[in-house]
A = this chain, B = another copy of it.
Amino acid sequence: MTEVFELGDFQTTTGYTIPGAKLSYKTHGSLSASKDNAILFPHFLGGAPEYVEMWIGEGRPLDPTKYFIVCPGQFGNGTSSSPSNTPPPIDRGAFPPVRFADDVIAQHKLATEQFGITEFQLLLGWSTGALQIYEWASRFPTMVKRLCCIAGAPKPSPWTRLWLRTVLEEPITSDPAWNNGFYSEGRAVQGGLRRMGHGAALTLPPPGFYREGHDVPSTLGFASVDDYVSRVWETYWLSQDPNDLLVQIRKAIAADPSRGGDMDATLRGITARTSVIAFTGDPMFPPADSRHDAERIPNASFREIPSAFGHLATFGFADDDRKAVDAALAELLAA
């Protein structure tokens, strides 16, 4: 069950106050007496603390019988402080801009004040979860023993920023029902949410995913490409509140642990033992870019995992992807 940590009146790095702010989270396993078995695993865009659970399990590297795994939420995820659950005057379309730095500061408060954790054995994150853990590693380096970036980066590339705006932000803000965030209910913006799904279905898989006669959705049991787009991608976004999504989307667009400064220096300053994992054919975080990130981090290794799913490996559809990621995590945790 998702729990809620009370942040009190939270001052954002962008210069606003969220009164009675909340951070949702979920934990797996028990914190040891010496508090030396904690892992932090923030979630990706459109997700929730539950969305990363397919990577956690007894006998696997993220083993809740060995580790205390904290899966924190983030502002805008609907269970933490978000446009959809915050009272006026900062409700809905008037929710203040926030950054991943704010999430990391809130997550740090949760870790230190609620649990008394002074060091994590591992921080890991997929996609925009990775954007958060790079912010963590640069902001609180002594608390991060190991870092695992999976299908992510410290900062989105120019293509990925264009993607976030074109595929996620604009379908919402251009919807006739959006009304600057003061729509009657989230489902009123259903057209925009569906179009986000179409764009994601189009752009996230690697080349060949839909190849006539050899398409991957068929192997997953879908009746057609349209069936897959509707059942997976329209469903994914329709379950979410548009303003909440915009908060997460805009954090991703603005992500930059160097704070407009020198990214080489920021990466050089990461002290954690780091593993950077990329997937063949992932346009969002291409292997060549991830390799370049790893080369700039002092104690980092890089690995590319061949996958028919590209960025969608995040969802763990394929046994091979799960095994390859688990192997990388086991190796990192043993080091």
Closest residue of chain B to A199 (Cβ to Cβ) is B166
CB contacts under 8 Å to B, within A114-163, are 157-159, 162-163
The reply to whether A195 and B174 contact each other, CB–CB distance below 8 Å, is yes
In the complex, what's the smallest C-beta–C-beta distance from A199 to chain B, in angstroms?
6
A109 CB-CB contact with B under 8 Å: no
> Which residue from B157, B162, B202, B288 sits with its C-beta under 8 Å from A201?
B162
CB contacts under 8 Å to B, within A288-309, are 288-289
In the complex, what's the smallest C-beta–C-beta distance from A68 to chain B, in angstroms?
37
Closest residue of chain B to A215 (Cβ to Cβ) is B158
A71 CB-CB contact with B under 8 Å: no
> Which residue from B157, B195, B208, B212 sits with its C-beta under 8 Å from A210?
B157
In the complex, what's the smallest C-beta–C-beta distance from A311 to chain B, in angstroms?
13
- Given A170-B195, A191-B174, A283-B207 in contact, is the A202-B157 Cβ separation under 8 Å? no
Closest residue of chain B to A286 (Cβ to Cβ) is B207
A165 CB-CB contact with B under 8 Å: yes
Complex interface bits, A160-198 against B, C-beta within 8 A gives 1, otherwise 0: 001101110011001110000000000000011001001
A5 CB-CB contact with B under 8 Å: no
The reply to whether A158 and B198 contact each other, CB–CB distance below 8 Å, is no
The reply to whether B159 and A202 contact each other, CB–CB distance below 8 Å, is yes
Which B residues touch A236, using CB under 8 A?
none
Which B residues touch A283, using CB under 8 A?
207
> Which residue from B162, B176, B201 sits with its C-beta under 8 Å from A198?
B162
Which B residues touch A289, using CB under 8 A?
211
Cα distance, A225 to B164, chains bound together (Å):
14
Cα distance, A215 to B158, chains bound together (Å):
9
Complex interface bits, A36-62 against B, C-beta within 8 A gives 1, otherwise 0: 000000000000000000000000000
In the complex, what's the smallest C-beta–C-beta distance from A173 to chain B, in angstroms?
10
The reply to whether A210 and B158 contact each other, CB–CB distance below 8 Å, is yes
Extra pairs beyond A162-B201, A170-B195, A208-B288 (8, CB < 8 Å): A157-B211, A159-B211, A163-B202, A167-B199, A174-B174, A174-B195, A202-B203, A207-B286
Report A's interface with B, CB cutoff 8 A: 157-159, 162-163, 165-167, 170-171, 174-176, 191-192, 195, 198-199, 201-203, 207-212, 215, 225, 229, 283, 286, 288-289
A-B contact pairs, 20 of them (CB 8 A): A159-B202, A159-B209, A159-B210, A162-B201, A162-B202, A162-B210, A162-B229, A166-B198, A166-B201, A167-B199, A170-B195, A170-B198, A171-B174, A174-B195, A203-B203, A207-B283, A207-B286, A208-B286, A208-B288, A211-B289
